Chains A and B, each alone.
Chain A
Amino acid sequence: MPTYNTDPFYALADPNRRAILMLIRKEKRSINTLATNFDVSRPAVSKHIKVLHDAGFLHYEDVGRERFCRLNPDGFNGVKEWVEHFEQFWETKVHNLEQLLKKRANLKNKKR
């Protein structure tokens, strides 16, 4: 079975992969061009690009015999939405918790 990981957090965990995204953020670049920017081997760069592609951070564009990589901003949506959704969720819930604590403290005071 081929390895296939669409987790954006996994994709962004590697500094080389983040660097690749930096390099293509303004314009598409060929895999060969990208590879010249790194000390690691070209197959290693290709592997990083595949991880980014699987996670939806970039599109491939084949021009002649060369493969170009173009940034896909939608790749970031999942990260942003997930974090924002749950942060908001917990903020709301802990606000509820605080109200409950207040209510309980008031009840105790009345009993005294």
Chain B
Amino acid sequence: MKRDIHLEWFLAFPRQEVWTCLTDPELIGQWLMKNDFQPVVGHRFQFRDKPKKGFGWDGIVYCQVLEVISEEKLSFRWQGGPGDGSLTLDSVVTWTLIAQPGGTRLVLDHTGFSGFKGLIASMIMKKGWAHHVIRRFTEILTKRTHAHV
């Protein structure tokens, strides 16, 4: 079972422009969240948004820059919690930029959830679609189990 989120987009804009929007704190604030980001490895910063109590999140993402390769790659730690001092979510966000004809391929990997367990405990469980989910997972499990034999 893969725990990673992997998403890709094609943006019809030059890579340099996309990079600027990913790394300028003022611009990041316009599309993502208010922040005190700096593209410097080791820099600790925060994103701030409206708290989501039902989701066990106090509205602050605690981050630290892990890797900066200009116009190519940006990686930072992404932690969050319910606001009682515990960090139930401990993950890593990585942006990869690939120049393509007419624009930029933007790749997002959001991975590594060692502290995810607390979040699940606080989640509101809905029974309605449980059977649907089980069916979908059974399909995935079947494929993966066969792949391992």
Contacts and interface: CB of A to CB of B under 8 A. Distances in A.
Measured as residues with beta carbon below 8 angstroms from the partner, the interface class of chain A is: 35 or more
Nearest to B130: A73
A9 B113 contact: yes
Given A91-B7, A101-B17, A22 B126 contact: no
Interface stretch (B38-46, B65-73, B114-122): B114-122
B130 A86 contact: no
Say whether chain A's binding surface is mostly helix, strand, loop, or mixed.
helix
Given A82-B120, A105-B13, A100 B21 contact: yes
A98 interface: yes
B97 to A, nearest CB: 12
Given A74-B130, A91-B7, A101 B116 contact: no
B50 interface: no
A78 B119 contact: yes
Interface of A: 5-9, 12-13, 15, 18-19, 21-22, 25, 56, 71, 73-74, 76-83, 85-87, 90-91, 93-94, 96-101, 104-105
14 contacts: A6-B121, A15-B145, A18-B141, A74-B127, A74-B130, A77-B123, A81-B123, A87-B5, A90-B5, A94-B106, A96-B30, A99-B31, A100-B31, A105-B13
